[in-house]
C-alpha cells in the first residue's frame, strides 16, 4: 500500500465537468476577496468603518431607555424632545462621512495589490494563459474589491436602518424619508465602486502593491489636506454665529468656488454626493440634534460628485484595461 | 495527425515582420521548437495562444481557429512559461487549484485535482507551503503542475529547465518525458538547450527569421548524407586506414582510436569493408555504428542555410 494519502500517483487526464466559460471572472473575484480577508487589518478596519453607526445605535438606545424611564415622558425636556426633533438622514450622512477614511483604508488593503502584485509575480501569465479574457480579469479583480467594500459599507448602515425601522417607526424613522434606504443603498454602491475603481486603476500602474498603496494614500491625504483649509475658509466667510460678516455680504462667487474646492478630495466627492442625496446636514455629528457652532459647507450640485466620481471611475478602469496586456506575458 | 496547422502566417509588430508567410504542421506527440533568438518562436507561441492577430494567413490549434476561438484553444492548452510565476499569497495547493478553477474546473474537483498533480510533480510534501518560499526547481515543477491541472490536450513548455541545477534538470526532463511518452500528452517544447530537446522530443521544428527552415524527426535530421560509419579501434592502426583508403573509402580521423569511414558503398557494404580492413591489419574493432550528427550540428546546418524540409 502506498504511503501517500493518494494511492495512484500517476498522471491522469481530466475529463470531468467544466464551468461555463463566461463565469471565470467570478473565480477571480472570489480569489481576490479570499486573499484580501487573509489580512487581519482588513477585518479590523472593516469593523471600525461602522463605528459611528454602532455609536449611534448605542446612544439612541440609551436615550430611548432614559425617555422610557422618565416619570412623565411627554414633558418637554432636552432628552425627551430628542426624538421629536431628530433628523434621521443626518445620522446616516454622518455615519457615511465618518466611515470614509476606513473605506479608503480597506480599499487600499484589498485593491492596491490586486493587479500590482500580480504584475510583480508574473501572475498574469497564469491568468491569461487560461481561458480568461482581459475583460474577465479586470472585471473579476474589480468585483473582488467592490463586493467586500459594498458589504463593509452596507452592513453597519443596514444594521442601523433595521434598528431604526423596528424601533422608531412611530418617531418618524420611515415617514421622514421613505426613500432613505434606497438613497443609502445607492450611495454605498457608488462609494464602493468609486474606491474599488481607484484602487484598481492605481494598482495597475505599479508592479508593487505597496507602491500603489502609498500613491493611493498620498492622493487621499493630499487632497484631504487641501480641502480642510477650503472648508475653514468657507466657514470663515459665512461667519460664525453671533459675530462676523453676514453671508449675503460675501461675494457669492467666492463662496461657490469654496463650496466646490471644499469637496475636491476623494472622500469629499463622496461627501458631496451624500449631501446631495440625503440633504445638507442640519445637526452636528455626535451631538444629538444640536446645531454646530458654524454652518457646514453645503453640497455643490449633485453633478459635481456624480460627474467627477464617474469620470475618475472611468479613467481608472481604462488605465487598468490598458495596462493588462496579454501580448506582453510570453517572452 | 497535426495539433497545430499554420498556413501562410504573417505576424508583424509595426514594420518588423516576426513571422513571414510561415506554414508549418506540428504533429501530435512531443515536438521541439528550435531557433535562435528573434527567430519567431515566441511569436508562434503567442499566436497559438491567440494573443496576436496575424496580418495574414491562418492557424488552427486542435481544430480551433486562433482568430476566433482563442479561449477554446486556451481551454485545451497548458502553458508552462519561462519566467517564474505564481499568485502572491497562495500555498501551492491553493495556487494549483485556483489555476484549475480559472480553466473551468469546478472548485471541488479543482482541489482534488491539485493534490493529484502536485503529488505527480513531486511537490506533495510541500503542497501547503507558500509558493514564494519555493526553490527554483520547485517553482519549475509548480509551473508544470498549474499547466496540467485542467488536463490540457497540448502542453506548451517554454524553457522548462531554465535555471535548474543538473539534478533538477534531470528530474524535470524525467517528468516531461513521463507526461509526453507515458501519458500521451501532446507537447511543444521551446528551448535553447538542444540536449533537452533531444532528450524529450521525437521531432523538431526549426524556425529562423520568421520562416521554417527545417522540421521532422530528430533521427532523420541527424542523418549524414552518404551514411558514413564510425569505427572505434582498440589502438591506433595505420594499416587499417591504408587498407580502407586503398579500397576507395575516405577516412576521417576523429580521435586517437576513432575513425569515420565514408564511401559510395551501401551501409552494409561499408561495414563489411571495415571488417575486412580490420582482419587484414590485425586491428581489434571496439565499435562500429552508423555515423550521425549531433542535434547541435543539425541545428547549425539548418540555421546556416543548409536546412531542408522533412515531411512528417
Global confidence as pTM? 0.84
- A 61-120 residues inside an 8 A Cβ radius of B: 113, 117-118, 120
- For residue A326, the chain B residues in CB contact (below 8 A) are 49, 51
pLDDT the model gives residue A3 = 56
Query: Would you say residue B309 has pLDDT above 50?
Result: no
Map grid coordinates 549531433 to a residue: B294
Give me the residues paired with residue B4 across strands.
B26, B61
Which residue in B18, B42, B69, B85 has the most chain A C-beta atoms within 10 A of its own C-beta, making it the best mutation to test that interface?
Answer: B85
Mean pLDDT of B218-229: 83
Chain A residues touching residue B86 (CB < 8 angstroms): 121-123, 126
State yes or no: pLDDT of A240 exceeds 60: no
**Per-residue pLDDT reduced to its tens digit, A200-223:** 999 999 999 999 999 999 999 999
Q: In whole angstroms, what is the distance from residue A91 CA to residue A284 CA?
A: 9
Task: State how beta strands B285-290 and B250-253 pair.
Answer: unpaired
Percent of residues, chain A, with pLDDT higher than 70: 85
Chain B residues touching residue A4 (CB < 8 angstroms): 119, 124
Strands B16-27 and B64-65: unpaired
What is the structure's pLDDT at A66?
A: 86
In B86-236, where does DSSP find H-type helix? 92-102, 107-120, 136-148, 166-177, 194-200, 218-221
Instruction: Give which of A302, A15, A79 is closest to B104, Cα–Cα.
Output: A15
Closest chain A residue to B124, measured at CA:
A4
Q: What is the pLDDT of residues B53-72, one digit of tens each?
A: 889 999 999 999 998 898 99
pLDDT category at B168 given cuts 50, 70, 90 is confident
pLDDT in tens, A298-323: 888 888 889 999 999 999 999 999 98
Could you tell me how far CA A11 lies from the centroid of its own chain? 48
Q: Is the pLDDT of residue A112 over 80?
A: yes
> Is B86 in contact with A126 (Cβ distance < 8 A)?
yes
Q: Is any Cβ of chain B less than 8 angstroms from the Cβ of A2?
A: no
Which three three-digit cell numbers place residue A283?
A: 445637526
- Percentage of residues of chain A with pLDDT beyond 90: 51
Of A21, A28, A126, the CB nearest to B146: A126
Nearest to B46 among A24, A122, A327 (CB): A327
The answer to whether B51 contacts A27, with C-beta atoms less than 8 Å apart, is no
For Cα atoms B21, B25, B27, give the angle at the middle one, nearest 5 degrees. Answer: 160
pLDDT band at A327 (very low <50, low <70, confident <90, very high): low
Q: Do A126 and B117 touch (CB under 8 A)?
A: no
User: Mean pLDDT over residues A261-286, rounded?
Assistant: 84
The confidence score (pLDDT) of residue B100 equals 95
Mean pLDDT computed over A86-100: 90
Question: Between chains, do A10 and B120 touch, taking CB under 8 Å as contact?
Answer: yes
Say yes or no to pLDDT of A258 above 80. Answer: yes
Statement: residue B165 has pLDDT above 90: no
Average the pLDDT over each of A36-45, A159-168, B188-197 and give the range with the smallest value: B188-197
Say yes or no to pLDDT of A242 above 70: no
Contact A13 B101 (CB under 8 A): no
Q: Which tens digit of pLDDT belongs to each residue from B103-135?
A: 999 999 999 999 999 998 888 889 999 999 999
- Mean pLDDT computed over B186-209: 90
Residue A28 has pLDDT above 80, yes or no: yes
Would you state the cell numbers that stand for residue A130, as one nine-digit string? 487560461
Q: What is the pLDDT of residue A310?
A: 95
For chain B, the average pLDDT equals 88
- E-assigned strand segments in A156-263: none
Amino acid at each position: 500500500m502506498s504511503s501517500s494519502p493518494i494511492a495512484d500517483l500517476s498522471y491522469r487526464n481530466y475529463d470531468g465537468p467544466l464551468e461555463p466559460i463566461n463565469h471565470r471572472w467570478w473565480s477571480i473575484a472570489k480569489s481576490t476577496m479570499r486573499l484580501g480577508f487573509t489580512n487581519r487589518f482588513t477585518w479590523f478596519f472593516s469593523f471600525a468603518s461602522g463605528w459611528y453607526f454602532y455609536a449611534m445605535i448605542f446612544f439612541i438606545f440609551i436615550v430611548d431607555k432614559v425617555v422610557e424611564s422618565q416619570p412623565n415622558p411627554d414633558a418637554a425636556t432636552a432628552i425627551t424632545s430628542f426624538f421629536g426633533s431628530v433628523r434621521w438622514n443626518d445620522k446616516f450622512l454622518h455615519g457615511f462621512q465618518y466611515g470614509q477614511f476606513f473605506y479608503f483604508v480597506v480599499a487600499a488593503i484589498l485593491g492596491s495589490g490586486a493587479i500590482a502584485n500580480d504584475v510583480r509575480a508574473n501572475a498574469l501569465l497564469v491568468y491569461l494563459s487560461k481561458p480568461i479574457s482581459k475583460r474577465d480579469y479586470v472585471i473579476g479583480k474589480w468585483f473582488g474589491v467592490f463586493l467586500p467594500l459594498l458589504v463593509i459599507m452596507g452592513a453597519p448602515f443596514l444594521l442601523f436602518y433595521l434598528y431604526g425601522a423596528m424601533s422608531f417607526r412611530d418617531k418618524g424613522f420611515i415617514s421622514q424619508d421613505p426613500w432613505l434606504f434606497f438613497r443609502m443603498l445607492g450611495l454605498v454602491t457608488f462609494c464602493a465602486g468609486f474606491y474599488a475603481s481607484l484602487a484598481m486603476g492605481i494598482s495597475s500602474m505599479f508592479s508593487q502593491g505597496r507602491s500603489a498603496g502609498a500613491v493611493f494614500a498620498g492622493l487621499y491625504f493630499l487632497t484631504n489636506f487641501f480641502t480642510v483649509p477650503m472648508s475653514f475658509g468657507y466657514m470663515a466667510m459665512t461667519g460664525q454665529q453671533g459675530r462676523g460678516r453676514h453671508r449675503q455680504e460675501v461675494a457669492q462667487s467666492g463662496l461657490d468656488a469654496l463650496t466646490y474646492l471644499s469637496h475636491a478630495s476623494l472622500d469629499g466627492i463622496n461627501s458631496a454626493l451624500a449631501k446631495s442625496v440625503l440633504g445638507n446636514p442640519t445637526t452636528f455629528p455626535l451631538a444629538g440634534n444640536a446645531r454646530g457652532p458654524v454652518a457646514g459647507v453645503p453640497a455643490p450640485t449633485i453633478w459635481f460628485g456624480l460627474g467627477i466620481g464617474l469620470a475618475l471611475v472611468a479613467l481608472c478602469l481604462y488605465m487598468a484595461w490598458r495596462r493588462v496586456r496579454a501580448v506582453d506575458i510570453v517572452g | 495527425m497535426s495539433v497545430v496547422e499554420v498556413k501562410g502566417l504573417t505576424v508583424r509588430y509595426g514594420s518588423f515582420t516576426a513571422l513571414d508567410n510561415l506554414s508549418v504542421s506540428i504533429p501530435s506527440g512531443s515536438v521541439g521548437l528550435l531557433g535562435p533568438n528573434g527567430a519567431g518562436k515566441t511569436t508562434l507561441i503567442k499566436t497559438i495562444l491567440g494573443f496576436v492577430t496575424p496580418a495574414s494567413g491562418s492557424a488552427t490549434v486542435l481544430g480551433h481557429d486562433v482568430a476566433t476561438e482563442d479561449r477554446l484553444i486556451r481551454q485545451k492548452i497548458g502553458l508552462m512559461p519561462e519566467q517564474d510565476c505564481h499568485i502572491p499569497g497562495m500555498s501551492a495547493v491553493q495556487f494549483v487549484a485556483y489555476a484549475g478553477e480559472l480553466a473551468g474546473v469546478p472548485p471541488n474537483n479543482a482541489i482534488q485535482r491539485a493534490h493529484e498533480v502536485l503529488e505527480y510533480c513531486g511537490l506533495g510534501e510541500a503542497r501547503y507551503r507558500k509558493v514564494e518560499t519555493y526553490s527554483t526547481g520547485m517553482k519549475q515543477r509548480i509551473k508544470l503542475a498549474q499547466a496540467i491541472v485542467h488536463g490540457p490536450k497540448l502542453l506548451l513548455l517554454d524553457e522548462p529547465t531554465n535555471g535548474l541545477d543538473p539534478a533538477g534538470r534531470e528530474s524535470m526532463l524525467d517528468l516531461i518525458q513521463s507526461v509526453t511518452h507515458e501519458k500521451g500528452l501532446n507537447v511543444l517544447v521551446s528551448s535553447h538547450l538542444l540536449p533537452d530537446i533531444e532528450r524529450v522530443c521525437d521531432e523538431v521544428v526549426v524556425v529562423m527569421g520568421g520562416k521554417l527552415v527545417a522540421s521532422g524527426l530528430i533521427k532523420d535530421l541527424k542523418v549524414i548524407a552518404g551514411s558514413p560509419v564510425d569505427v572505434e579501434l582498440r589502438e591506433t592502426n595505420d594499416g587499417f586506414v591504408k587498407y580502407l583508403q586503398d579500397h576507395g573509402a575516405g577516412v576521417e580521423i576523429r580521435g586517437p582510436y576513432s575513425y569515420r569511414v565514408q564511401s559510395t558503398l551501401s551501409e552494409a557494404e561499408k561495414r563489411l569493408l571495415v571488417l575486412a580492413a580490420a582482419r587484414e591489419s590485425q586491428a581489434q574493432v571496439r565499435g562500429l555504428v552508423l555515423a550521425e550528427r549531433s542535434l547541435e550540428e543539425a541545428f547549425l546546418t539548418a540555421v546556416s542555410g543548409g536546412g531542408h524540409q522533412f515531411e512528417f
